[in-house]
Amino acid sequence: MDNLEISGFELGVETFSLPSNKCRIKKNNDDDGAVWINVEKVSDEPLYYSFDGINGLCLTTKFGSVRKKNLLLELASLDIKNEDLILQFLEENGFFFPLQNGTVSMKLNDCLNIIYRLMATTELISDLGSMDPDMDQMLFSTLYLLLGESVELYNDDTNKTIFSSPLHEAMNIINQSSIAVNTDYDTDEAAEKGTYTVKDTVYNGTYELDAEDYDSVISGDDPWHKNPENTDARYRKIISVYKTNHNLNRNSRRIIDFLFHYMYEVGVIKKIDYRNGIEYYKDPQGKTIDEQLNSALMITARIVVANEINTIISRSVRPFFSADTLNTTWRATSLHSALFFSLFYMRPGKSVFRRCANPTCKKYFSVSSTNGRRIYCCKKCRDANNSRMHRIKIKKAPDS
């Protein structure tokens, strides 16, 4: 039986019940040089939250009056390179995850990566809902969610998972695949024309994959150190799955096709990091994404965003009818999932987050997409940037 779907219903002000408290976060280094954070509850008084369609997830008093609006926007507008500001946000607004026995410790890097995934998802929703999307940003956020470092957090006492980043099925297939070393033309037809014909969702149904290229990546040899990308384990798996594994659901196949074509035609990605960007084996300068690959990127971005949000919401947020008040509330297992809930209701086409066009600011601000022309977060930034642009014009054209 099909599920009954209720689409686009409007939420009023919803209260949120979730376990979170003010906390103190201390950084310390372990013997291997990794930075850890110790998070300690500073008050037994819980924090209270509410959600509404205009202000997003808010911090409230016990009685529901709003103390601080739109926590997601506040987090998004922080300078992401400054980890102390991020930790301060968590101290004030509650830690992402419940504090077992009042404390929790985790690697700083894991904590930051969890935040970066949330940011990348927020940016993707904004770009997908924008009339004038930033395609470079969309490419980066999509690749980051697919290929960036994933996070697994366990509670050592209970042996239960606290959090694991939602990996799309396509990535599990790639990660778990073994490379079928099957070089030197596996069919007579391929030997004759020098290519393998591969079913493909990006280019008109099929793609002619150069057999020599394929064989040299699959064999993983690079005796002259000219093509170090051919020894990259992930790339070898992607190209292998691309050619051989066609019995998959359509969305997984689309992701695999996109990743293959992006790496094969633009550049093989060695590492992707939210703060430092993409590291390639060879500088892809001048290589561009053609129209078909661009459409494949848009589709992949949608699949990735949906997977990220659906996975987190379905495992950690549910509606709840209160016997005390006879009202509906929402229960979330953590502040992290409540922030995803506010993303869930950030409708593309209704409101978008946009980065301020003043290069010395670059903060995120929220605009309704019907007011799509606004590019500065505030009047001060508009004036500052207008006078800066004016100075540049004068410098460039001294005679006019």
The residue ranges that bind Zn ion (CB under 5 A) are: 356, 358, 361, 377, 381
Going by their DSSP bridges, the two strands 277-280 and 269-273 should be labelled as: antiparallel
Phi and psi, residue 30, nearest 5°: -95, 180
User: Closer to Zn ion at the Cβ: 199 or 380?
Assistant: 380
Comparison of 18 and 356: residue with beta carbon closer to Zn ion: 356
Minimum separation from the CB atom of position 380 to Zn ion (A)? 7
* Closest CB 383 distance from Zn ion, rounded Å: 11
Q: Which residue has the tokens 């980065």?
A: 355
CB of 386 to Zn ion, least distance (A): 12
Tell me the sheet residues that pair with 106: 37
Half-sphere exposure of 190 (CA within 13 A, CB side): 20
Nearer to Zn ion, 153 or 377 (CB): 377
Q: How far is CA 183 from CA 23, 165, 186, 212, 215, in A?
A: 57, 35, 7, 9, 5
State which residue, 236 or 355, has the beta carbon closest to Zn ion: 355
Say which amino acid occupies 299. Answer: I
Q: Provide the 3-class DSSP secondary structure of residue 297.
A: helix
Which residues touch 119 (CB under 8 Å, ≥6 apart)?
A: 75, 76, 80, 274
Strand-strand pairing, 328-332 and 14-17: parallel
Do 229 and 249 form a contact (C-beta atoms < 8 A)? no
Shortest distance, CB of residue 144 to Zn ion, whole angstroms? 24
Shortest distance, CB of residue 121 to Zn ion, whole angstroms? 22
For Zn ion, the closer CB: 42 or 392 = 392
> Residue 138 or residue 381: which is nearer to Zn ion going by CB?
381
Bridge partners of 269, per DSSP, are 280
Please state the closest distance from residue 348 (CB atom) to Zn ion, in A: 23
Report residue 287 as tokens: 């290589």
**Least separation in angstroms between CB 329 and Zn ion:** 35
Q: CB-wise, 87 or 381, nearer to Zn ion?
A: 381
Longest dimension (CA), the chain: 76
